[in-house]
């Protein structure tokens, strides 16, 4: 048996077909029926049905009026980093401008599970500045951006996400119990911005909304307490941050009319 034949023996046809199904969808093709999917892959409807059922059951596809569309799981798990490229490209000039106007570092992150994944930083070139490298993962409940990302989840979703996570292993001021985290999330959801202090620095964060009105990413302004503490400073920085988030969200297709019921689209400083 040749090496090529040996390698072929390890292939999984069902997995190949499943990934091929996901690859059929793009910006121009957002919904497909089972006949269209089977035809494009060159297989029968019966051969593709179980794959479609499995992908739908796992959340990678969703079915609506006998049409299949990409599901939320495509973005929320292993595909999230790739899906976030558009967010980075859109947010980058806005965050750079915010850094330049405030002389503070800005960061962009998305949620992967219970972690906040840092995707971009606009680093402030000053002696005392906050500099979190791209690719860093920090537990969501321990950071301002992470708490903003968690605020998009309902109570049931939050409980499910943290049902096997020990919170008492993390130092204050992070919440140490699930009820405490739920209470914080409710406050963060209503206020729509979060202030977090740690290691002589302060971060202010708020959410970026996508075209559906959901929080798909978070941004922050962060700097040393000496800069953030003077009277009126935090309010001014928060206003600038919220304005920046609005600009990015609008470029992602967000309009206030798209805001899901129960989620406020205004903020009070």
Cβ-based burial of 185 (10 A; exposed 0-12, middle 13-18, buried ≥19): buried
In a domain, residue 265? The reply is no
Overall average pLDDT of the 238-264 stretch: 76
Query: 174: helix, coil or strand?
Result: coil
- 88 and 158 in a single domain? The answer is yes
Lowest mean per-residue pLDDT among 31-35, 82-86, 101-105, 264-268: 264-268
Query: 33: helix, coil or strand?
Result: coil
Query: Domain of 11?
Result: 3-71
Q: pTM value?
A: 0.65
First to last CA, the chain: 71
Domain boundary residue, one of 25, 40, 71 = 71
Tell me the C-alpha distance between 145 and 193, whole Å: 9
- 198 and 144 in a single domain? The answer is yes
Torsion of CA 210, 66, 51, 113, to 10 degrees: 20
- 183 and 84 in a single domain? The answer is yes
In a domain, residue 16? The reply is yes
- 114 and 217 in a single domain? The answer is yes
Q: How many domains does the chain have?
A: 2
Query: Residue 85: phi, psi to the nearest 5?
Result: -60, -40
Tell me the C-alpha distance between 268 and 39, whole Å: 53
Angle between helices 45-57 and 34-41 (to 10 degrees): 120
Lowest mean per-residue pLDDT among 67-81, 146-160, 188-202: 67-81
- 149 and 95 in a single domain? The answer is yes
Domain boundary residue, one of 19, 47, 71 = 71
Tell me the C-alpha distance between 235 and 240, whole Å: 9
Lowest mean per-residue pLDDT among 60-74, 84-98, 205-219, 255-269: 255-269
Among the ranges 7-16, 87-96, 162-171, which has the highest mean pLDDT value?
A: 87-96
Residue in the block written with tokens 């899906």: 83
Tell me the C-alpha distance between 94 and 80, whole Å: 21
pLDDT beyond 60 at 64: yes
Torsion of CA 149, 150, 156, 159, to 10 degrees: 140
Residues 220 and 208 sit within 8 Å (Cβ to Cβ): no
* Tokens found for residue 70: 């990409």
- 253 and 202 in a single domain? The answer is yes
∠238-262-83 over CA atoms, to 5°?
65
Length of the chain, in residues:
269
Could you read off the pLDDT of 8-61 as tens digits, one per residue?
A: 567 788 888 888 998 898 767 888 999 999 999 999 998 899 999 999 998 889
Confidence of residue 79 (pLDDT cuts 50, 70, 90): low
- 99 and 8 in a single domain? The answer is no
């Amino acid at each position: 048996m040749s090496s090529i034949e040996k390698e072929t023996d390890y292939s999984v046809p069902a997995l190949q077909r499943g990934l091929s199904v996901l690859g059929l969808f793009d910006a121009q093709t957002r919904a497909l029926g089972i006949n269209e999917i089977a035809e494009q892959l060159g297989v029968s409807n019966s051969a593709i049905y179980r794959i479609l059922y499995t992908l739908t059951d796992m959340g990678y596809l969703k079915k609506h009026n006998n049409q299949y569309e990409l599901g939320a799981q495509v973005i929320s798990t292993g595909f999230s980093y790739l899906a976030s490229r558009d967010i980075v490209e859109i947010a980058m000039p806005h965050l750079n401008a915010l850094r330049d106007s405030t002389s503070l570092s800005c960061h962009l992150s998305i949620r992967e599970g219970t972690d906040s994944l840092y995707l971009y930083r606009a680093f402030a070139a000053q002696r005392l500045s906050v500099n979190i490298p791209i690719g860093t993962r920090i537990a969501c409940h321990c950071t301002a951006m992470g708490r903003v990302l968690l605020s998009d989840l309902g109570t049931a979703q939050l409980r499910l996400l943290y049902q096997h996570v020990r919170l008492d292993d993390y130092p204050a001021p992070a919440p140490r119990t699930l009820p405490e985290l739920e209470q914080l999330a409710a406050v963060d959801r209503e206020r729509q911005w979060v202030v977090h202090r740690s290691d002589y620095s302060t971060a202010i964060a708020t959410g970026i909304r996508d075209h559906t009105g959901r929080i798909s990413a978070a941004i922050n302004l962060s700097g040393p307490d000496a800069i953030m503490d003077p009277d009126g400073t935090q309010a001014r920085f928060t206003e600038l941050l919220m304005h920046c988030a609005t600009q990015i969200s609008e470029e992602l297709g967000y309009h206030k009319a798209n805001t899901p019921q129960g989620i406020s689209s205004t903020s009070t400083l």
